[in-house]
Amino acid sequence: MKKILLICSFAAIFSSCEELKQIASASGIGGITENEAGQGIKEALAQGLTKSVLQLNKQDGFFGDAVYKVLLPPDAQKIGNTLRDLGFGSLVDKAILSINRGAEDAAGYAKPIFVDAIKNMTLQDAIGLVRNGDTSATHFFREKTTAQLIAAFTPVIKASLDRVDATKYYGDLVNKYNSFPTTFKKVNPDLTNYVTQKATNALFDLVAKEELNIRTNFAARTTDILKKVFGTKW
């Protein structure tokens, strides 16, 4: 570790980043090469991604989970309460169930988007994330990919919501509420952005939990490279 810190302190005297990279690669970092460190963090993210998709992309993956169940949007929760009081509880229940079914359906489409992002992570990024610990890899991954993920995910979520009639049931719910003579602010029946954000947050949260599990639990390191990289003191 002292050797690496010394190298980094005098990095400015080298004529190129490539020279520094060659020195670090030649000496290894804690007995691990740069390529191994990069492969390890990418495998950790891929393992977390696979688990999160498998957990959410099934019936009741969202609906049956107390943590990730998607409830009505905050500005629409008063609608649910009002309609239940007026005897329209089944309409509220249908809307919530269909929203979660849409999120469950869409979760399966996240995998190729995440996989491409992992492939595009640079070696330097990966090495830093191995050292940083905690859920730094997921945090970095989230900052780098959220905008692109949401852009790609939004039409998928919308199609999924339409396919399971979530858009229809939620629209019926909001329109029923908006039809009542009231001084309350009318609610926008657009649901896609809200569910996209909730589904994205759930995926990243699960990836983060698995990353932390790999870092702290030997049994979670299911490949030789994970055992080597995350079993080393940095």
Residue 21 buriedness (CB in 10 A; 0-12 / 13-18 / 19+): middle
29 three-class SS: strand
Output phi, psi for 32, to 5 deg.
-120, 135
For residue 141, what are the contacts with CB-CB under 8 A and spacing of at least 6? 45, 114, 117, 118, 121, 204, 207
Rounded to whole angstroms, the Cα distance separating 79 from 175 reads 10
The model's confidence at residue 106, banded by pLDDT at 50, 70 and 90, is: confident
Query: 113 vs 17, which has greater pLDDT?
Result: 113
Strands (E), 17-68: none
Residues 27-45: tens digit of each pLDDT: 344 566 778 877 887 888 7
With tokens 């983060």, the residue in question is 208
Residues 42-99: tens digit of each pLDDT: 888 788 888 888 899 999 999 999 999 999 888 778 788 888 888 888 888 988 998 8
Rounded to whole angstroms, the Cα distance separating 234 from 230 reads 9
Contact criterion met (CB below 8 Å) for 144 and 220? no
Rounded to whole angstroms, the Cα distance separating 113 from 39 reads 19
Mean pLDDT, rounded, for 145-164: 82
Q: Which DSSP symbol is given to 32?
A: B
Mean pLDDT, rounded, for 209-231: 78
Residue 12 clears pLDDT 70, i.e. is over it: no
Query: Residue 147: what pLDDT?
Result: 81
Query: Residue 50: what pLDDT?
Result: 84
Rounded to whole angstroms, the Cα distance separating 199 from 179 reads 30
For residue 192, what are the contacts with CB-CB under 8 A and spacing of at least 6? 154, 157, 158, 161, 167
Residue 5 clears pLDDT 70, i.e. is over it: no
Query: Residue 120: what pLDDT?
Result: 76
